Amino acid sequence: MTPRTFAFFPEAAYGPALNSVGIAQAVQARGHRAVFLSDPGFIGVYEGYGFEAHPVALSEPMPPEQMAKFWEDFINGHIPNFRKAPIDQLDNYVKDCWSAIVDSAKWAQKDLPGVLARVAPDVVCVDNVILFPAIKQFGRPWVRIISCSENEIEDEAIPPHLSGMSEHDHEGHARFRARFAEVIRPIHDDFNAFLADCGEAPYPLGQFFEASPYLNLLLYPEPVKFARKVPLDPARFQYLEGCVREEAPYEVPAFARNADGPLIYVSFGSLGAGDTELLKRIVAALGQSRFRALVNVGDYMAEYTEVPPNVHLASWFPQPSVIPQVDLAIHHGGNNSFTECLYFGKPAIVMPYVWDGHDNAMRVEETGHGRRFPRYDWEAADLIAAIESCLADPAMQARLAATSAHMRAADGRQKAARLLEALAG
């Protein structure tokens, strides 16, 4: 087949960025050119994996180090709101987040037409929650990648995106949708005005993106998908069953205590590491347990002055190389952690704080692949008991093994590469 150029444009967060890296690795291995369109602060991430990357301004110009930390600072400023229920985060974190996302789309429209003209992709893949008009108007097929929870594609029979509600709480769904519409209306009106300026039709209230008419790739695994009133058309929607990138091997360090204890991995992602008081509580609890623990503390290593001998801290872990070696993970419900635990058949204790972490935490609980756990309202004994119950649950272990086998057989990266190749023609 003639080599094609595939452009990937993930949002400026490590979850979507690294999922696109996984797909790009598979595309490149098939002899094609994979290129990234990137927030300037993330250029180094893609270049670190050996990819060509082109900057697209998503905010006002600022020094590269400040740009790279924009979302980290944004998250840290909202830490007090993480104690609130998802519906009570709508008029603070969610409102501020959507406002920033709309601004990013406006900024992108200044750069994107020129960048697309220079790169000349045959297919553009967008992993974001908002429309970039220049991509839709470029004249080449475009693909929407949905690396967050499956309910980002709405259906009246399933919980609304970001709600973290049970699939059976239909009254709660209605309350959340009504409150979301109330909070988001001014921001949505502003976005529709921007769409009009770009020659695009307005979106219904609450909608900031549309499904691609060409192809939509969901990273969500089918074993945990929702029962929709209107099933997604497989001609346009394909489940990738996760998309685990290739990483360097990881050797588990020796521990001075509990050398043979079960191994626990703790990570709240690149943005959640700023919640240091919570991570210190978890470190202290695990330090008094029979377990060993690997804990991702991000850029905050200097704040951890006392580390138990059965706990190892690091600023970053090659997660796809770590999770296969652990017995259980404690994470925030982000898309990578959620799908990678399922892919490798590992139970998870999910402590969500924002965005689709709430949805993924509830989905882990309701499908029996782990536990949804309160982020702050717990004692050390509660956390240890939750871990022990997951490790000792044969039904959960069997379910995880079956889900893992299903996902591995699907090989989401290769499936995505084949679908993109067919779309390019």
- What pLDDT, in 10s, does the model give residues 222-250? 999 999 999 999 999 999 988 888 889 99
pLDDT surpasses 90 at 103: yes
Query: Which fold is adopted by the domain 263-408?
Result: Rossmann fold (3.40.50)
pLDDT tens digits along 262-318:
999 999 987 788 899 999 999 999 999 999 999 999 989 999 999 999 999 999 999
Per the structure block, which two tokens stand in for 387?
């871990």
**C-beta atoms surrounding 261 within 10 Å:** 16
| CATH class of the domain at 5-245+410-424 | alpha beta
Per the structure block, which two tokens stand in for 284?
């202290």
Which residue type does 382 have? D
Asked if the domains 5-245+410-424 and 263-408 are classified in one and the same CATH topology, the answer is: yes
Q: How many CA atoms lie within 13 A of 4 on its CB side?
A: 20
| Residue 206, burial from CB neighbour count under 10 angstroms (0-12, 13-18, 19+) | middle
Helix (H) or strand (E) holding 371: strand 370-372
Which single residue is written with the structure tokens 């709101």? 81
Q: What is the pLDDT of residue 68?
A: 59
- Where is average pLDDT lowest: 66-80, 136-150, 377-391? 66-80
Can you tell me the distance from the alpha carbon of 321 to that of 350, in angstroms, rounded to the nearest whole number?
A: 20
Task: List the domain boundaries for the chain.
Answer: 5-245+410-424, 263-408
Choose among 376, 368, 382: nearest CA to 268: 376
Q: Residues 189-209: what's their mean pLDDT?
A: 97
Per the structure block, which two tokens stand in for 279?
């991570």
Render the burial of 96-112: b for 16+ CB within 10 Å, e for the rest: bbbeebbbbbbbbbebb
Q: Residues 8-20: what's their mean pLDDT?
A: 90
Q: What is the pLDDT of residue 74?
A: 80
List CB contacts of 146: < 8 A, sequence separation 6 or more: 127, 152, 153, 216, 217, 218, 219, 220
pLDDT tens digits along 144-158:
999 888 999 999 999
Cα 176 to its chain centre, rounded Å, is 22
List CB contacts of 192: < 8 A, sequence separation 6 or more: 202, 203
